[in-house]
Structure 1
Amino acid sequence: MPLVRISLRRGKPPQYIAAIRNSIYRAMIEAFNVPQNDRFILVHQHDADEFDYDANYLDIPRTDDLVIIQITCNNTRTVEQKKVFYARVAELLSTEPGLRPQDVFISLLETTKENWSFGNGIASYA
């Protein structure tokens, strides 16, 4: 059910991008109970002039390795599950591909179940 959009600066090798995708998916399975094969991940790479961020907002020092992760998902997770998820994503990404936790930005967009169609023009969860 989650739709993941990952934005980062252009120029990282394919293995680096794959590690980001795989780590986020693993965290969704572990912390959000996302079922196997429920994997819909889009990667958007940007040139420097298309990737604007504050390098110190909320006193978090960010670098040009910043990865912005936006996930559209059902509004069924508790605050505690979200906290576990955020921490797990940062932990996994620090291991593979080696991102600093300060360079992991996550935003959840929550929606109700009837707002999904996975194909065939059918409201998949309604």
Structure 2
Amino acid sequence: MPLINVYLRQGTTAEHRRNVSLGIHSAMVDVLKVPQDDQFHVFHEVSPDNFQMQPVVFGLRRSERAMFVQISVNHRTAEQKAELFRVIVDRLRLFADVPEEDVLMMINETARENWWAAGRVVNPATGYDERMNDAPTGAGATG
């Protein structure tokens, strides 16, 4: 049950936000194998005065369309997170025409026991939602 918060400047369209959501969610389904109906995205449009960012960050020019994507999810391997970042950037470019340099991301990992929603059933062997057929198994699987 990942929770996605997307922070961007005021003035985007509902269609743009839907396309951003579609790009992020399709990456979550493909890379982390979250169930298709496991989608919780919250968009925060803030005034330009409340979105302070240098125009050049890490040597790359960022536009006024830059967004910050914050992902709260159970523990994932470094390889899974790197792949997720790569695929999200690709999908945001494809679905929402967001250039790579305008995507800034962060993952907050939480313990699997910190998530709850009515109807959610966790497979005790994997720590993942029981509907995740491709979830990792074994000692390294923590949710």
User: Is this a same-fold pair by TM over 0.5?
Assistant: yes
The equivalent residue for 2:54 is: 54
- Segments of 4+ moved more than 3 angstroms: 123-126
1:117–1:124 CA contact under 8 A, matched in 2: no
1:31–1:84 CA contact under 8 A, matched in 2: yes
Residue 61 of structure 1 aligns to which amino acid in structure 2? R
1:19–1:96 CA contact under 8 A, matched in 2: yes
1:72–1:109 CA contact under 8 A, matched in 2: yes
Question: What pairs up with 1:84-95 in 2 under 5 angstroms?
Answer: 84-95=83-94
Give the deviation of 1:60 after TM superposition: 2.3
Give the deviation of 1:55 after TM superposition: 2.1
Residue 74 of structure 1 aligns to which amino acid in structure 2? N
Point out where structure 2 has 5 or more consecutive residues left out of the alignment.
Answer: 128-143
1:12 and 1:46 map into 2 onto residues whose CA distance is 10
Question: What pairs up with 1:69-88 in 2 under 5 angstroms?
Answer: 69-75=69-75, 77-88=76-87
Supply the RMSD in Å over aligned alpha carbons: 1.7
The equivalent residue for 1:7 is: 7
Point out where structure 1 has 5 or more consecutive residues left out of the alignment.
Answer: none
2:32 and 2:4 map into 1 onto residues whose CA distance is 13
Residue 85 of structure 2 aligns to which amino acid in structure 1? Y
Aligned length: 123
Normalising by structure 2, we get a TM-score of 0.80
SS at match of 2:106: strand
2:22–2:95 CA contact under 8 A, matched in 1: no
Which of the pair has more CA radius of gyration? Answer: 2
The equivalent residue for 1:103 is: 102
Change (3 A) 1:113 1:124: farther
1:85 and 1:111 map into 2 onto residues whose CA distance is 17
1:82 and 1:54 map into 2 onto residues whose CA distance is 26
2:111 and 2:54 map into 1 onto residues whose CA distance is 31
SS at match of 2:11: coil
1:116–1:124 CA contact under 8 A, matched in 2: no
For residues 79-117 of structure 1, give each alpha carbon's deviation from its aligned partner in whole angstroms, at most 9, with x where no partner exists.
111111111111111112101100001100001111112
1:114–1:124 CA contact under 8 A, matched in 2: no
Give the deviation of 1:124 after TM superposition: 6.3
